[in-house]
Amino acid sequence: MFSNLFYKPVPLKTHNEQFELPDGDFIDLVWTEEKDSEPLIILLHGLEGSIDSPYVNGILKTINACGWQGVLMQFRGCSGRQNRLDRSYHSGDTGDINTLTSEIKKRYPDRDLAAIGVSLGGNVLIKFLGEQGKKSPFKVAMAISIPFDLSICASVLKTGFSRIYQRYLINSLSEKVRDKFKDKPAPIDLSKLDEWTDFFLFDNNVTAPLNGFKNVDDYYTKSSCKQFIKHITTPTLILNSKDDPFMNAAALPNEDELSPSVTLELTEHGGHVGFIYGSSPFNVKYWTEKRIAEFFRSQFN
Q: DSSP states of 45-86 as a string?
A: --TT--TTSHHHHHHHHHHHHTT-EEEEEEPTT-SSS--SSS
Who wins on pLDDT, 274 or 228? 228
State residue 278's pLDDT score.
56
- Residue 274's alpha-carbon distances to 46, 53, 56, 211, 285, in angstroms, are 13, 12, 12, 30, 10
Active site residue 280: no
End-to-end C-alpha distance for the chain, whole angstroms: 30
pLDDT at position 147, please?
96
User: How large is the average pLDDT for residues 256-262?
Assistant: 97
84-97: burial string, b at 16+ Cβ within 10 Å, e else = eebbbbbbbbbebb
Q: Are strands 140-144 and 113-118 parallel, antiparallel or unpaired?
A: parallel
Confidence of residue 7 (pLDDT cuts 50, 70, 90): very low
Q: How far is CA 241 from CA 146, 192, 263, in A?
A: 10, 35, 14
Classify residue 131 by its DSSP letter: H
* Mean pLDDT across 5-27: 80
Which of 45, 151, 244, 259 is the catalytic position? 244
217 given a catalytic annotation = no
State the pTM of this model: 0.93
In the predicted model, is pLDDT for residue 95 greater than 50?
yes
pLDDT in tens, 121-160: 999 999 999 999 999 999 999 999 999 999 999 999 999 9
CA distance 244 to 262: 20
pLDDT for res 36: 84
Q: What is the pLDDT of residues 177-220, one digit of tens each?
A: 999 999 999 999 999 999 999 999 999 999 999 999 999 999 99
Mind listing the pLDDT tens digit for each residue in 271-284? 888 887 655 455 56
Please report the pLDDT score of residue 1 as a whole number. 44
Mean pLDDT across 170-176: 97
More confident residue, 286 or 175: 175
Q: What is the DSSP letter of 183?
A: S
- The pLDDT value recorded for residue 286 is 79
Going from N- to C-terminal start, the domains of the chain cover 14-152+225-300
Rounded Cα distance, 114 and 68, in Å:
10
Identify the three-state secondary structure at position 17: strand
Averaged pLDDT for residues 32-36: 90
Confidence of residue 35 (pLDDT cuts 50, 70, 90): confident
CATH superfamily of 14-152+225-300: Alpha/Beta hydrolase fold, catalytic domain (3.40.50.1820)
Residue 37 annotated among the catalytic residues of the structure: no
From the list 91, 119, 145, 223, the catalytic residue is: 119
Q: Does 2 score more than 50 pLDDT?
A: no
- Alpha carbon 256 to chain centroid distance? 24
